[in-house]
Structure 1
Amino acid sequence: MSSRRSSRSSVSEEEINELISKLQSLLPNSRRRGANQSLHREVDDLSDRLSDLMAGMDHNSPGAEIIRSLLR
């Protein structure tokens, strides 16, 4: 995780790791190394976007609660 992400986010690193695992399980497996690296970059980008979204929300807002429920 980048320090930029962890310092601004109200989402725990554990929650982000769970989201990454869930995203990876939804995407088809690829045997090609380049495709795996691309997938990793996409997951990292989605994690960054989620962190930025959560950082801009009130931790107790309905939107934040919806996002946390999706991570469970």
Structure 2
Amino acid sequence: MASTRTRSSASRISEDEINDLVLKLQALLQESNSGGTARVPAWKILKETCSYIKRLHREVGDLSERLSQLLASADTTGVDADMLRSLLQH
């Protein structure tokens, strides 16, 4: 039973580590948004991070769709087109 307690307490993240991670997220968001350096509540940073990740997923999807359309309309007999198709499938 003691080993279970030790393992679970060792796998927990401390409040200081959480604060450090939130500050890192805030810095990343500020780089992408060119925002100010004011302290923002953790919940707001996490919410903005989720929104940013969703936007990135949409952009990736849009770019993949656009690339697929370009490949479909281009000469698809070349090796480069086959390589791009295989990359898109991953």
TM-score, normalization by structure 1 = 0.42
Greater Rg over alpha carbons, structure: 2
Higher relative contact order (CA 8 A, sep 6+): 1
**In proportion to residue count, which structure has more helix?**
2
TM-score, normalization by structure 2 = 0.35
